[in-house]
């Protein structure tokens, strides 16, 4: 039997990987263009919830840097939520709609599909982050004095790689658990905001809690960003920025590699248990 | 054939149908949302999420004030956040209920076809969320009293005021839930987050975690128009009277006046939500949106 | 790696463990979805899998398309083992399920199909060429730019069917593809399927259906499956030839009140009888070892005060083959399956 059809040359390998990312990002981008209501409640309304914490700090006469901390944390929340809801739990909805089995039987990589989902949502995510940080800083008259732009950029990029790697890892749970994993995504909001110090220096929680929370890439990323945003920021920092960058590098590699391994393993397990096509409530 | 008008019997049957729709929706919402039977889910929704949300504020407060939990601001913040759990629960619950019924369970079309009053159905789902949210509220209150010395003395609590305020709050939030549920009928899948976004926005304007006087005047004005502001104030006064009096924003209003304003604004929002429902419902039916799936 | 068969299975089995609810997590029972299924489908063949609802057709498709692993036996598709080498199977297959939607409602038909083609590495230009050609073939070209959420169920299913073909699979699995389609649409799809196979002898298609006429019309060979077991596998003509020795009659009578079928079955010369009540009448289908047995049938019916409304002799169909193998009609078998699944 011939191994490939004759009429055209199919993409494979890395070309297929990136092609899949683009293809899966497409419905997101088109969907956002055709239904623009997300602009209001996914981009502008979240600024208000962040503002609540700003006003709380002002009610307590907190130093103005803390307002900046809240805005940075609020901006990064956008990426966390993108990973949670546009990537991980999305597989639940795909299964409900009948698309998951089609993704599995296609020769593409599930990692590429997940990245496509996340990239497709990236426009909304970045807009949300920019509105919170940019517009928020203007509204609340917050000024920053970035100590080292290079390090800030590196921290952000590493945080994104580690975060999205972690997102792919957790999405493998959705292949197996379905609706229960949706509840875990719900759990990963406020408790993570607390443990990772989204709105306050994580150092305040004590060394061991902060250390444990450092497994979440945004913990150290936020801490480093805060230290780099204000002179003297190291006073409220958990670890020196260079150490945090090194840890983020390790996390990035570990999460991306683990994502690949766990996705394969979970898919095999789901195929064995027959959970890829059942509707689990 | 001449148009018929409803007879007294039919009107009575209509009232029975309204009550039946409400009971069914509340029961359904309870069945879907009640997590007490599953320890894992109960731990997430009644312990972890609400306590974490409160803990964020507690830590923020502790970091800045050096742990001054005796200051009146602390119970103000804590109690406002605790009862705001109801607002988030109802708002997110109803908007997600519409999306889930339409796209996951695919039952919304059957509910429409059945002799069920849809606005009552949406309000019933909101009330169910209020009831299930009570676990989180009680646990958060208990944590505050036991571990953070929240100054709630059962002997000094104005229980009458508390329960009357709570009851009005249930109705008020159910109306707001109807408003959001109506909008969800015409929005796509991401409308599931509408409730969360609106609840988050109202968090600023309702004086939940800081007195309204902290806001710029234009934003304060918005806060005065929202019934949740008065509702939270009444609950604080009933539980920790002295603390509420420490903040000047609504100091000039008596409990009776606050109740009156709360009732009046709830009525206004109720009327608005009915109009919004009618408009959204007509649009949804015109465009055939009741059974569409819109995930992307 | 075998190069002769597109699909091969050997003693394939699948057992589902069904757990109790939250209060009772012990395993309540095992469900044998497939048992000892051994099949071989040649390259270029249009192979049918025919059986009632719950027979195991979809389970078999899921195993062959790498969505479900077997609990016993093995299966190979396009020469590769579905359990050991699923990643080598997937570039060579595709699947279409009837009654399911795929894609995203906010995208147009063309956009949805393009997206799925990308997952298989079909270059965009080629993908669009195929999409336009196939939409024309199934009569959906005028709706190419319509959002799929605005299509009727039947048109969405046509889009779903095109999705299976545009990736140029070597082996294509169609699981009840005409479910929900009207007569004309079903006919369009069948023509399309036949045309597609005829174009290239390396293409293989496995079709599951519970529509006898569809299997009879399209399939070169048919496997009849019931309760997870393959009961027979041969060409429709050969299967029907098994019954040629018997005479098949359809008798329509006035309603049969209180006449048990056993009274008819025990008559000399009667191999099998099925009874389908109708509106003001009853339809009996007889398989007789000899035509003379009709005398006894009429006598018994007359004794039960049933009037004969119509008598028809017909050639055996696949439904008759099914009845011969299973002992009851497809509808009765589905009813029985539904009763078995009711909680005690």
Contact between chains at B190 and A30 (C-beta distance less than 8 A): no
For chain B, the domains span 17-287
Give C284→chain A minimum CA distance, Å: 39
- The 10s digit of each residue's pLDDT in C283-293 is 999 988 888 89
Q: Is residue A234 part of a domain?
A: yes
Contact between chains at C119 and A1 (C-beta distance less than 8 A): no
Min mean pLDDT across A121-125, B43-47, C303-307, C329-333 is at C329-333
pLDDT at position B203 is 92
pLDDT over 50 (residue C344): no
Rounded Cα–Cα distance for residues B126 and B124 (Å): 5
Residue C149 · residue B293 · CB < 8 Å: yes
- The 10s digit of each residue's pLDDT in C109-131 is 999 999 999 999 999 999 999 99
Give A227→chain C minimum CA distance, Å: 43
pLDDT over 50 (residue A3): no
Residues on C contacting B at a C-beta cutoff of 8 Å: 22, 101, 104-107, 149
Q: What percent of the residues of chain A are helix, what percent strand, and what percent coil, each to the nearest 5?
A: 75, 0, 25
Contact between chains at A97 and C120 (C-beta distance less than 8 A): no
C227-259 as b/e: b if 16+ CB within 10 A: bbbbbbbeebeebbeebeebbbbebbbeebeeb
Min mean pLDDT across B108-117, B146-155, C184-193, C295-304 is at B108-117
Question: What percent of chain C stands above pLDDT 90?
Answer: 53
Mean of pLDDT over chain B: 86
Within a 10 A sphere around the Cβ of C66, how many other Cβ atoms? 27
When CB atoms are compared, the residue of A49, A186, A189 closest to B203 is A49
Contact between chains at C105 and B37 (C-beta distance less than 8 A): no
Question: What percent of chain B stands above pLDDT 90?
Answer: 43
Instruction: Provide the number of structural domains found in chain A.
Output: 1
Contact between chains at A98 and C101 (C-beta distance less than 8 A): yes
For the segment B66-70, the average pLDDT, to the nearest whole number, is: 88
For the segment C279-302, the average pLDDT, to the nearest whole number, is: 90
Q: All domains of chain C, ordered by start, with CATH?
A: 5-100+162-240 (3.40.50.300), 245-315 (3.30.70.920)
Min mean pLDDT across A56-70, B189-203, C143-157, C228-242 is at B189-203
pLDDT over 80 (residue C325): yes
Residue C212 · residue C240 · CB < 8 Å: no
For the segment C315-319, the average pLDDT, to the nearest whole number, is: 81
Q: How confident is the model at residue C103 (pLDDT cuts 50, 70, 90)?
A: confident
A49 neighbourhood in chain B, CB within 8 Å: 197, 200-201, 203-204
**Chain A partners (3+ C-beta pairs within 8 A):** B, C
For residue B296, give the chain C residue with the closest CA.
Answer: C104
The residue of C92, C120, C149 whose CB has the most chain A CBs within 10 angstroms, and thus the best one to mutate to test that interface, is C120
Rounded Cα–Cα distance for residues C98 and C177 (Å): 4
Q: Characterize the bridge pairing of strands C80-81 and C72-77.
A: antiparallel
Residue C46's H or E segment, with its range, is strand C46-50
Rounded Cα–Cα distance for residues C80 and C170 (Å): 12
CA C32 to chain centre: 19
Does the CB of B251 have a partner CB in chain C at under 8 Å?
A: no
The helices-and-strands tally (H runs, E runs) of chain C is: 12, 14
Higher per-residue pLDDT: A4 or C11:
C11
For the segment B155-175, the average pLDDT, to the nearest whole number, is: 93
Higher per-residue pLDDT: A146 or B115:
A146
Q: How confident is the model at residue B190 (pLDDT cuts 50, 70, 90)?
A: low
pLDDT over 90 (residue A139): yes
For residue B293, give the chain C residue with the closest CA.
Answer: C105
Question: C-alpha angle with apex B53: B52 to B59, nearest 5 degrees?
Answer: 80
Q: Is residue A1 part of a domain?
A: no
pLDDT at position B4 is 57
pLDDT over 80 (residue A209): yes
pLDDT at position A179 is 65
Mean of pLDDT over chain C: 87
Question: What percent of chain A stands above pLDDT 90?
Answer: 57
pLDDT over 70 (residue B295): no
Min mean pLDDT across A63-67, A185-189, C39-43 is at A185-189
For residue B290, give the chain C residue with the closest CA.
Answer: C149
The residue of C104, C148, C152 whose CB has the most chain B CBs within 10 angstroms, and thus the best one to mutate to test that interface, is C104
pLDDT over 90 (residue B129): no
SS3 A11: coil
Q: Characterize the bridge pairing of strands C204-209 and C171-175.
A: parallel
C153 neighbourhood in chain B, CB within 8 Å: none
pLDDT at position A87 is 82
pLDDT at position C246 is 78
Question: What percent of chain B stands above pLDDT 70?
Answer: 91
Residue A219 CB burial class (10 angstroms; 0-12, 13-18, ≥19): buried
pLDDT at position B128 is 87
Rounded Cα–Cα distance for residues C188 and C168 (Å): 19
Answer yes or no: is the ipTM higher than 0.95: no
Contact between chains at A107 and C79 (C-beta distance less than 8 A): no
When CB atoms are compared, the residue of A26, A27, A277 closest to C67 is A277
pLDDT at position A21 is 95
pLDDT at position C1 is 38
Residue B20's H or E segment, with its range, is helix B8-33
The tally of CA atoms less than 13 A away on the side-chain side of residue C137 is 20
The residue of C100, C103, C112, C149 whose CB has the most chain B CBs within 10 angstroms, and thus the best one to mutate to test that interface, is C149
B193-206 as b/e: b if 16+ CB within 10 A: bbbbbbbbbbbbbb
When CB atoms are compared, the residue of B37, B38, B296 closest to C106 is B296
Higher per-residue pLDDT: C135 or A87:
C135
Q: Is residue A44 part of a domain?
A: yes
Question: C-alpha angle with apex C77: C73 to C80, nearest 5 degrees?
Answer: 85
Give B203→chain A minimum CA distance, Å: 6
The residue of A274, A279, A280, A281 whose CB has the most chain C CBs within 10 angstroms, and thus the best one to mutate to test that interface, is A274
DSSP string, C179-239: TT--HHHHHHHHHHHHHHHHH-TT-EEEEEES-HHHHHHH-SEEEEEETTEEEEEE-HHHH
Question: How many residue contacts between A and B have a Cβ separation below 8 Å?
Answer: 128
pLDDT at position A5 is 43
Rounded Cα–Cα distance for residues C68 and C64 (Å): 8
């Amino acid at each position: 039997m011939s191994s490939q059809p004759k009429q055209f040359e199919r993409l494979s390998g890395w070309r297929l990987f990136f092609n899949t990312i683009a293809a899966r990002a497409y419905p997101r981008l088109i969907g956002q263009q055709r239904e623009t209501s997300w602009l209001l409640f996914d981009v502008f309304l979240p600024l208000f919830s962040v503002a609540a914490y700003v006003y709380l700090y002002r009610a307590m006469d907190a130093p103005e840097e803390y307002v900046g901390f809240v805005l940075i944390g609020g901006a990064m929340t956008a990426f966390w939520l993108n990973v949670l809801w546009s990537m991980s739990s999305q597989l639940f909805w795909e299964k409900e709609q009948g698309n998951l089995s089609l993704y599995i039987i296609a020769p593409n990589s599930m990692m590429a599909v997940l990245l496509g989902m996340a990239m497709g949502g990236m426009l909304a995510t970045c807009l949300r982050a920019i509105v919170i940080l940019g517009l928020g800083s203007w509204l609340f008259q917050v000024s920053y004095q970035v100590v080292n732009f290079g390090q800030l950029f590196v921290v952000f990029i590493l945080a994104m790689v580690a975060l999205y790697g972690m997102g792919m890892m957790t999405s493998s749970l959705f292949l197996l658990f379905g609706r229960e994993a949706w509840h875990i995504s719900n759990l990963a909001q406020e408790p993570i905001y607390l443990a990772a110090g989204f709105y306050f220096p994580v150092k305040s929680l004590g060394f061991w809690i902060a250390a444990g929370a450092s497994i979440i890439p945004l913990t150290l990323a936020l801490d480093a960003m805060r230290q780099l945003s204000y002179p003297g920021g190291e006073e409220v920092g958990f670890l020196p920025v260079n150490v945090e960058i090194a840890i983020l590098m390790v996390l990035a590699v570990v999460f991306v590699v683990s994502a690949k391994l766990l996705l394969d393993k979970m898919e095999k397990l789901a195929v064995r248990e027959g959970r890829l096509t059942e509707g689990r409530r | 054939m001449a148009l018929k008008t409803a007879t007294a019997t039919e009107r009575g049957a209509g009232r029975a149908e309204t009550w039946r729709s409400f009971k069914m929706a509340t029961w359904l919402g309870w069945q879907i949302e009640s997590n007490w039977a599953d320890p894992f889910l109960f731990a997430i929704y009644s312990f972890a999420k609400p306590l974490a949300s409160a803990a964020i504020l507690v830590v923020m407060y502790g970091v800045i004030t050096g742990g001054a939990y005796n200051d009146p601001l602390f119970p103000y913040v804590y109690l406002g956040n605790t009862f705001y759990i109801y607002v988030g629960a109802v708002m997110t619950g109803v908007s997600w209920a519409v999306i889930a019924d339409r796209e996951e369970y695919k039952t919304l079309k059957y509910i429409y076809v059945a002799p069920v009053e849809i606005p009552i159905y949406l309000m019933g789902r909101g009330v169910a969320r209020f009831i299930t949210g009570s676990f989180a509220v009680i646990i958060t209150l208990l944590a505050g009293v036991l571990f953070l010395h929240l100054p709630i003395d059962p002997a000094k609590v104005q229980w009458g005021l508390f329960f009357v305020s709570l009851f009005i709050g249930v109705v008020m939030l159910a109306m707001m839930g109807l408003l959001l549920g109506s909008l969800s009928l015409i929005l796509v899948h991401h409308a599931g987050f509408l409730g969360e976004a609106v609840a988050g926005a109202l968090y600023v304007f309702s004086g939940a975690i800081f007195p309204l006087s902290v806001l710029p005047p234009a934003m304060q004005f918005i806060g005065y128009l929202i019934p949740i502001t008065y509702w939270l104030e009444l609950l604080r006064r009933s539980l920790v009277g002295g603390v509420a009096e420490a903040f000047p924003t609504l100091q000039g209003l008596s409990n009776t006046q606050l109740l009156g304003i709360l009732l009046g604004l709830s009525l206004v929002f109720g009327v608005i939500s009915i109009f919004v429902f009618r408009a959204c419902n007509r649009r949804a039916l015109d465009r055939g949106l009741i059974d569409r799936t819109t995930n992307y | 790696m075998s190069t002769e068969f597109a699909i091969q299975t050997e003693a394939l089995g699948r057992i589902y463990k069904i757990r109790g609810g939250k209060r009772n997590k012990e395993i309540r029972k095992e469900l044998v979805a497939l048992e000892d299924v051994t099949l071989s489908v040649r390259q270029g063949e249009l192979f049918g899998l025919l059986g009632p609802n719950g027979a195991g057709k979809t389970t078999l498709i899921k195993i062959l398309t790498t969505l479900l692993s077997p609990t016993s036996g093995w299966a190979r598709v396009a020469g590769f083992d579905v359990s050991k080498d699923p990643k080598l199977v997937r570039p060579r297959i595709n699947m279409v399920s009837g009654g399911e939607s795929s894609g995203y409602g906010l995208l147009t038909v063309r956009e949805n199909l393009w997206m799925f083609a990308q997952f298989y590495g079909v270059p965009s230009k080629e993908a669009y060429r195929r999409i336009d050609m196939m939409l024309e073939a199934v009569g959906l070209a005028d709706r190419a730019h319509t959002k799929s959420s605005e299509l009727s169920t039947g048109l969405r299913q046509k889009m779903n069917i095109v999705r299976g073909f545009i990736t140029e699979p070597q082996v294509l699995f169609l699981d009840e593809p005409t479910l929900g389609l009207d007569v004309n649409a079903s006919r369009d799809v069948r023509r399309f399927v036949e045309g597609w196979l005829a174009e290239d002898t390396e293409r293989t298609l496995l079709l599951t259906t519970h529509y006898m006429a569809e299997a009879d019309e399209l399939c070169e060979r048919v496997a009849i499956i019931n309760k997870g077991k393959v009961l027979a596998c041969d060409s429709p003509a050969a299967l029907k030839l098994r019954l040629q020795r018997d005479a098949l009659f359809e008798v329509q009578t006035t309603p049969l009140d209180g006449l048990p079928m056993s009274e008819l079955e025990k008559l000399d010369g009667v191999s099998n009888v099925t009874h389908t009540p109708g509106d003001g009448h009853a339809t009996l289908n007889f398989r007789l070892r000899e035509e003379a047995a009709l005398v006894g049938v009429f006598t018994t019916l007359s004794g039960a005060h049933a009037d004969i409304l119509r008598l028809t002799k017909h050639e055996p169909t696949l439904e008759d083959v099914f009845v011969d193998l299973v002992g009851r009609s497809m509808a009765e078998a589905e009813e029985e399956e539904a009763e078995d699944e009711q909680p005690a």
